[in-house]
């Protein structure tokens, strides 16, 4: 019969789906590397050199999409100075990446992010809110933001996410093949939901790991990590009362992050003897 394996009675589409899923899983788990700083074995398909090249190539476009680089030389210099202090006085300096810190001219967006390989950005909108007295910039809070982003780079989260997305695409294709029913449009939605569940989980875990690394780098560089908790207050206030529930977001709720940061502070103070 067409569309069915006559010997086993298993539909051919199921067999194809199993092969697709097996290929995606084998490819994902066969690409492994050990991160000397985090002490973790990671599933990553690209080299650190490729990460650096990708970040350098993407940086100009990312800056352009967010209003370009800031013309405020003094603020830009502070961002670069604090960022390099965090890197050069912490375990992050052991990584092979070329760190550079950029201030974006966008005064409305409250954000900071890291590209693969060490290109790190913060918007004027976030920078101007990093004050403990409502007036002057708090260097500890800025170090907390930049330390968190350095954590993303050191932990190779972008490269990890690329591999995870490739795995998700492979598994989505397998689920689509196995469940496709032209009379039921929901089958495509089911497959996409599988992919979303995979990538969302890793997104939250990566944010918490970067908070933890940010605490470590702050302590090593001589900054007070308690101010990273204040950064979470800034993010909470900026998000307003109609925040998306944590389980629907790739970012943990700022309140939950505060509790994890406090635990990380006690952990790293003990490890580093601070």
pLDDT value for 265? 98
Q: What percent of the chain has pLDDT over 70?
A: 72
Q: Is the pLDDT of residue 247 over 50?
A: no
What is the rounded distance in angstroms from the CA atom of residue 5 to the CA atom of residue 8?
A: 6
DSSP class per residue in 233-261: HHHHHHH-SSPPPGGGSSS--HHHHHHHH
Mean pLDDT to the nearest integer, 202-227? 94
Provide the pLDDT for residue 168.
Answer: 67
pLDDT of residue 248: 44
Q: Between residues 21 and 255, which one has the greater pLDDT?
A: 255
11 bridge partner residues:
4
Q: Which helix (H) or strand (E) holds 35?
A: strand 32-35
The residue among 134 and 88 whose pLDDT is bigger is 88
Residue written as token pair 């006690």: 266
Residue 190 pLDDT > 50, yes or no?
no
CA-based torsion, 105, 62, 155, 152: positive or negative:
positive
Residue 227: what pLDDT? Answer: 97
Among the listed residues 272, 125, 159, 169, the one whose alpha carbon sits nearest the alpha carbon of residue 213: 272
List the chain domain ranges: 32-172+198-272
By percentage, how much of the chain surpasses pLDDT 90? 57
Distance between CA 247 and CA 200 in Å, rounded? 9
Please state which of the ranges 49-53, 167-171, 201-205, 212-216 shows the lowest mean pLDDT: 167-171
Predicted confidence band of residue 95 (pLDDT cuts 50, 70, 90): very high
Q: In what order do the strands lie in the sheet with 119-123?
A: 100-104, 119-123, 112-114
pLDDT given for residue 238 in this prediction = 81
Give the span between the Cα atoms of 119 and 99, in whole angstroms. 6
Q: How high is the pLDDT of residue 177?
A: 53
Query: Is the pLDDT higher at 204 or at 165?
Result: 204
- In this prediction, residue 236 carries a pLDDT of 85
Cβ contact 106:72 at 8 Å:
no
Angstrom CA distances, 132 to 116, 136, 141, stand at 31, 8, 8
Average pLDDT over residues 202-218: 91
Do the Cβ atoms of 105 and 68 come closer than 8 Å? yes
Q: Which of 217, 102, 89 is nearest to 150 (CA)?
A: 217
Rounded average pLDDT over 236-259: 68
Rg, the chain, Cα only:
22
pLDDT for 162:
81
């Amino acid at each position: 019969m067409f569309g069915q394996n006559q010997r086993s009675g298993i539909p051919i589409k199921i067999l194809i789906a199993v092969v697709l899923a097996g290929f995606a899983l084998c490819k994902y788990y066969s690409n492994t590397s050990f991160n000397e700083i985090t002490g973790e074995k990671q599933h990553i398909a690209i080299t650190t050199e490729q990460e650096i090249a990708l970040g350098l190539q993407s940086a100009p476009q990312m800056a352009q999409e967010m209003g370009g680089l800031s013309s405020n030389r003094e603020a830009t210099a502070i961002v670069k100075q604090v960022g390099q202090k965090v890197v050069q006085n912490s375990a992050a300096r052991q990584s092979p990446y070329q760190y550079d810190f950029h201030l974006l001219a966008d005064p409305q967006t409250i954000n900071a992010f890291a590209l693969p390989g060490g290109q790190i950005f913060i918007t004027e909108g976030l920078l101007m809110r990093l004050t403990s007295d409502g007036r002057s910039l708090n260097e500890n809070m800025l170090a907390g933001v930049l330390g968190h982003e350095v954590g993303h780079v050191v932990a190779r989260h972008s490269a990890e996410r690329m591999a995870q997305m490739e795995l998700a695409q492979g598994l989505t294709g397998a689920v689509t093949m196995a469940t496709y029913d032209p009379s039921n449009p929901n089958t495509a939605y089911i497959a996409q939901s599988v992919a979303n569940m995979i990538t969302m989980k890793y997104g939250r875990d990566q944010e918490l790991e970067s908070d933890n690394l940010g605490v470590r780098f702050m302590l090593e560089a001589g900054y007070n990590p308690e101010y990273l908790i204040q950064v979470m207050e800034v993010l909470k206030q900026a998000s307003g009362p109609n925040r998306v529930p944590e389980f629907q977001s790739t970012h943990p709720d700022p309140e939950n992050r505060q509790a994890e940061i406090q635990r990380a502070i006690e952990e790293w103070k003990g490890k580093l003897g601070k």
